[in-house]
Amino acid sequence: MADLSSLATSRQITLRTVVRILLDRGAVSRAELARLTGLSKQTMSEVFRHLEDGGWVQMAGRTQGAVGRSAAIYEVCADRALVFGADVGGTKIQAALADMRGRIVSELVEPTDARGGRHVIEQLARINATLASRAGLPADRVLVGSVGIPGAFDLRSKRLFMVPNIAGLEGSFFAKELEALVTFDVAVGNDVNMAAKGELWMGEGKGIDNFVFIALGTGVGMGIINERRILRGARGAAGEIATLPVGASGYDARTFHSGVLETMIGSAAIRDRYEGAGGQPGLTVRQIIDRIEGGDRIAGATLDEVARTLAEAILAVSAIVDPERVVLGGSIGARTELLDRVRHFLPLCMPTPPECTISRLGSRAALYGTIASSLDLLYENLFQTAGYDLLPGTDAAEAGG
Q: What is the CATH number of the domain that holds 298?
A: 3.30.420.40
Question: What's the alpha-carbon Rg for the chain, to the nearest Å?
Answer: 25
348 and 212 in one domain? yes
Mean pLDDT of the chain: 89
344 and 302 in one domain? yes
Distance CA(159)–CA(235), nearest Å, equals: 10
Check pLDDT > 70 for residue 353: yes
- 106-140 confidence digits (pLDDT tens): 999 999 999 999 999 999 999 999 999 999 999 99
What three-state secondary structure class fits 367? helix
310 and 279 in one domain? yes
How large is the average pLDDT for residues 30-52? 83
Amino acid at 157: S
Residue 66: predicted pLDDT? 56
Check pLDDT > 50 for residue 270: yes
Distance CA(10)–CA(294), nearest Å, equals: 67
Reported confidence tier of residue 391, pLDDT bands at 50, 70, 90: very low
- Domain containing residue 9: CATH number: 1.10.10.10
Structural domain includes residue 393:
no
92 and 16 in one domain? no
370 and 335 in one domain? no
What three-state secondary structure class fits 97? strand
- Tell me which residue range forms the domain holding 120: 81-196+365-387
60 and 188 in one domain? no
103 and 181 in one domain? yes
192 and 161 in one domain? yes
Distance CA(193)–CA(294), nearest Å, equals: 36
| 325 closest CA partner among 211, 203, 192 | 211
Residue 65: predicted pLDDT? 59
Structural domain includes residue 337:
yes
128 and 228 in one domain? no
Check pLDDT > 70 for residue 398: no
- 224-238 confidence digits (pLDDT tens): 999 999 999 888 889
Check pLDDT > 90 for residue 11: no
